Amino acid sequence: MDESKLLDQNVIVFILITTICHAAFQPSASDCSLHFDFPSPNSTCEEGDWGGFLRKNCCASAFNDYLYALGQRANQTGKIYLNSAEQGSCLASMKDLQKNVFGCGIEKLTSGAGGCSDFSVADVTNRLGDRLKSLEGNCKFQSSDDGKNEQLCGSCVKSWEDIGALPSTSSDPQSIEVETNVCRFAVLVSYTSIKLENKAHLLAVYTCLGSQKFFTNNNQLPPKGNRKISTGKASSITELSLAFAELKIYTELVAFAIYYAAFKDDPFEESGCPKISIEEVYSATNNLSQSNFIGEGTAGKVYKGILSNNQHVAIKHIINDGNVETFAREVTSLSHIRHPNLVTLLGYCVNEDECFLVYELCPNGNLSEWLFGKDRNLPWIQRLEIAIDSARGLSFLHTYPEGCIVHRDIKPTNILLGKNFEAKLSDFGLSKIIELGETYVSSEVRGTFGYVDPDYQSNNRVNSSGDVYSFGIVLLQILSGKKVVNMNLNTPMPLSKMAKGLNRSGGINDFADPKLQGEYSAEAFDLTLQLALSCTALKQRRPSMEQIVATLQEAHDLSTEAKASTPEVSTDTSIQY
């Protein structure tokens, strides 16, 4: 594709996105109860990230201001954390003061999640009083520029690390880390509330704890300029590994910076319809609250939310960790493509080091949850309707007028279910476009284990038959309610191999999902099974998605006819339709 054609396509993409863009609204700064007057020095983006709690170093100065303001409020009211709405207003207020902290990670410090998030200063004193005393005893900085501060910092950090989360039933390391940080900062805000008059001391404490990544697990921070590097093979290997890791991170940051710069100059800026603002994203999701979290994919976490126009949405949070290409591909693939069986992209947001994609919300989750969830079940005809919807979405992509679009990651978790259980394909982060006149494009093997076409794995050629194979595996799961590989056997067996064996032996009923309880048309079930097996056969024997839609529709018609001819009330569970 020549550059002029590519430019024309990009311009068309941007124009079409503007027709569905939603105006962005910011939370009101006037509703903030905090007063920001902490004398933090101007940020140099070198202050530290509080052991990884902050997403970027440039947030540290504004974060210090935020902590001090919480301490002032705690001193007056006894309360430690703001709720998400109050916090959103205060973050907007800080932006008005040229201290933009949206996207820094501060949104994790809100009330309402239980545990330390709902603590008062009195609760900290009663439940974590020993930790508060330890912090006070080991962080005895006299001023922010005292020469002894670096020597004292190690013991201060040790006291900080000793503050743990409250006893919890959670075994998820990430959840435990969040809870631990919430408890640590609850102690620190309480400490701040009793040291308000000594701002220089508090600045020294914040500076020490903010830079803790340099001396975690050490008793003392070596003086600057005297931090020795050990010699020997082990250290050389470690240094080399660190060098490669830093190079990888640097490369990703440079790539993101270039991409972000390009986006800042896109036609959106002049179209009169702004991109969804970072404030709108955080407001919609209650600052990416855990209570809004609904799932996670390879590119990032997904949160439900409500935009300021009251539209319910799903927001995918893509942090810059090599997934910028995914973000770009989704915007360019979905922005100008509309079909009832494809999830609708409503807008996007680009911040300094993170991206967001905003979609319509599918309230019934994804197909995987309904196939494998213990307390969920889909009746036979509804399963066929979901299969038909999904096949129609894929057929639309494969016959797209500007070139065949190959999804490359068809699986139950990427089949979302709308209000009436209509199926919509989602997650186009791996999609590829095959230009008119071409039969395939070459690419590294991508996809999900168990769903990837063996032909694609062997020759690296992307074409529509790969999606057909993946869809065939999904059909087998719709029929059986089984995972792609049965790990309960002595020798793990792929689902397709199991289906072929039962088909040859005539044990079709043994393959049916027990949740169906025999309530399906045997003829339609067999027709669908044979279709699924043809999808997973050799490439040259696979049907097109148009043929798949027609066959599934035939199975649906057989099923509805069988159901219509079956008495509504019957105690005979062997009757099949």
Q: How many residues does the chain have?
A: 577
CA distances from 432 to 68, 131, 332, 451 (A): 50, 54, 11, 17
In this structure, what are the phi and psi dihedrals at residue 379, rounded to the nearest 5 degrees? -65, 165
CA distances from 117 to 72, 80, 113 (A): 17, 8, 6
The residue written with tokens 């949104």 in the block is: 107
User: In this structure, is the dihedral angle defined by the CA atoms of residues 526, 532, 536 and 540, taken in order, positive or negative?
Assistant: positive
- H/E stretch holding 416: strand 415-417
Read off the DSSP letter of residue 294: E
Cα angle 80, 178, 162; round to 5: 80
109's CB contacts (< 8 A; 6+ apart) are: 81, 87, 117, 181, 182, 185
Written as six digits, the tokens of 247 are: 């190079």
In this structure, what are the phi and psi dihedrals at residue 81, rounded to the nearest 5 degrees? -105, 150
Mapped onto helix, strand or coil, the DSSP state of residue 286 is: coil
As beta bridge partners, residue 296 has 301
* Alpha helices, H only, 78-193: 84-96, 121-127, 129-138, 149-161, 173-193
Q: Which amino acid is at 200?
A: A
Torsion of CA 499, 504, 505, 508, to 10 degrees: 50
The rounded distance, in Å, linking the Cα atoms of 283 and 178 is 20
Catalytic residue, from 409, 427, 453, 513: name it: 409
The residue written with tokens 């996007």 in the block is: 348
The rounded distance, in Å, linking the Cα atoms of 222 and 552 is 70
What distance lies between CA 398 and its chain's CA centroid?
Answer: 27
Residues 399-433 as b/e (b if ≥16 CB within 10 A, e otherwise) read eeeeebbbbbbbbbbbbbbbeebebbbbbbbbbbb
The rounded distance, in Å, linking the Cα atoms of 249 and 260 is 16
CA distances from 29 to 103, 239, 294, 306, 404 (A): 17, 47, 29, 19, 48
As beta bridge partners, residue 349 has 356
CA distances from 412 to 379, 390, 467 (A): 16, 10, 13
| 409 counts as catalytic | yes
Q: Could you give the angle at which helices 199-210 and 173-193 cross, rounded to 10 degrees?
A: 160
Give catalytic residues, as residue numbers: 409
